């Protein structure tokens, strides 16, 4: 999306500006907590950083694979991995939710809204 200029903003101007504000607020929050810290509690106690890190990796893989494999299999695999690795849900729930959410998303976007979804290997 083109950024444009201050006088003629493009479609990428607002998301970029909001991202800058979000980064600035995050840095301000980190800095304020850093100054308050007396060393009693670590910033990331005992591997609590792992789940957010795995979430970022999962979304990155989803974005990369959706054009290669297609919407349906990528969404299905993403949901299975998310619920198994990050959430630790039982396999019965994983299967039910993965199939259901993938089907509902396809019906909403592919059928009712007629959004062209990536076909990937099925095109």
71-117 per-position pLDDT tens digit: 899 999 999 988 988 888 899 999 999 999 999 999 999 889 988 88
Centroid of chain to Cα 121: 23
- Look at residue 102 in the predicted model and tell me its pLDDT: 93
Rounded to an integer, what distance in angstroms lies between the CA atom of residue 71 and that of residue 106?
A: 8
Backbone angles phi, psi at 5, to 5 degrees: -135, 180
Name the pTM for this structure. Answer: 0.62
Cβ-based burial of 13 (10 A; exposed 0-12, middle 13-18, buried ≥19): middle
Quickly state the pLDDT bin for 36 (edges 50, 70, 90): low
The mean predicted confidence, pLDDT, of the chain is 85
The per-residue pLDDT for 10 is 85
- Residues of the chain above pLDDT 90, percent: 36
User: Residue 123 pLDDT > 90, yes or no?
Assistant: no
Q: Would you state the pLDDT for residue 42?
A: 64
């Amino acid at each position: 999306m083109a950024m444009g200029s201050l006088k003629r903003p493009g479609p990428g101007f607002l998301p970029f500006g909001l991202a800058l504000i979000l980064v600035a607020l995050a840095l301000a929050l980190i800095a304020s907590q850093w100054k308050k810290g007396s060393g009693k509690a670590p910033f990331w106690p005992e591997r609590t950083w792992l789940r957010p890190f795995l979430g970022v990796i999962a979304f990155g893989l989803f974005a990369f694979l959706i054009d290669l494999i297609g919407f349906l299999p990528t969404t299905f695999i993403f949901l299975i991995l998310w619920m198994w690795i990050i959430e630790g849900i039982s396999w019965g729930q994983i299967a039910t939710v993965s199939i259901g959410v993938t089907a509902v998303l396809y019906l909403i976007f592919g059928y009712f809204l007629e959004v062209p979804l990536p076909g990937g290997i099925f095109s």
